[in-house]
Structure 1
Amino acid sequence: MSPIGSVNPLQATALSRIDAPLPKIGLPQTTPAITGPSEGFGPMLDGLVGQVQSKQAAAQEATRKVLLGDSDQLHQSVIAMQEASVAFTMMVEVRNKLVESYQELMRMQV
């Protein structure tokens, strides 16, 4: 039996699922009205900072559970710490770009 000519039964069922017809998705009958932003720039930034803070709190809680022996999910703790780190780094970069943009506006002559 050559590996090229043989078909694994699991692969055959996976292929039959791929060939299955897709369900029809109905489009909404009415189009939503285009409106302006519902919140300002400040509340949006507050929300982003809150998300970063919640990721850091979740990472600290996961790490605390691992250190106390309440959980053996070390990999989840490391993943949570990396997510918090990336979110914090992104927030700092956004802040740096905002400060740079503000400084550029202040240098413009009117």
Structure 2
Amino acid sequence: MINPVNAAGAEKVLAAVNKEKSAGAVAFGESFASFLDDAMGKLQAQHGVVEQLGNQFMVGNLDDVHKLTIANEKALLGLELTVQVRNKAVEAYQEIMRMQI
């Protein structure tokens, strides 16, 4: 049998739907934030490796200079990627701000 729709029932359904939507948005925001945090951690780790290898090279404890060069290029590419992602995020934000409501 079909139950008639009343205002109280509709409000409960709408509240549940809105709660699910906001939970999904929060989960997406948290996952994106954790992605960015992880990426920045990896970038800092790459920089630390370059610094460590550079110190070893200066002291004369590094036999393979190629390791330093490769680590330096990896860190440089990571930095360039980070800058490009930042530029795209700023560009997207500016585009959103230009939208008329």
TM (norm. structure 2) is 0.68
SS at 1:45's partner residue?
helix
What letter matches 2:57 in structure 1?
V
Structure 1 partner of 2:92: 101
Structure 2 partner of 1:68: 59
What letter matches 1:71 in structure 2?
L
Structure 1 residue 50 and structure 2 residue 50: aligned?
Answer: no
Structure 1 unmatched ranges of 5 or more:
1-35
Q: CA deviation at 1:42?
A: 1.4
Runs of 4+ in 1 over 3 A off after TM superposition: none
After superposition, the C-alpha distances for 1:22-49 in whole angstroms (9 at most, x for unaligned) are: xxxxxxxxxxxxxx76x42112111111
Aligned 1:1-110 pairs, distance under 5 A:
39-110=30-101
How many pairs does the alignment contain?
Answer: 74
Structure 2 unmatched ranges of 5 or more:
1-26
What is the root-mean-square deviation in Å for CA atoms of aligned residues?
1.4
- Higher helix proportion, which one? 2
What letter matches 1:104 in structure 2?
E
Structure 1 partner of 2:9: none
Q: CA deviation at 1:81?
A: 0.4
Distance in 2 separating the partners of 1:73 and 1:62: 10
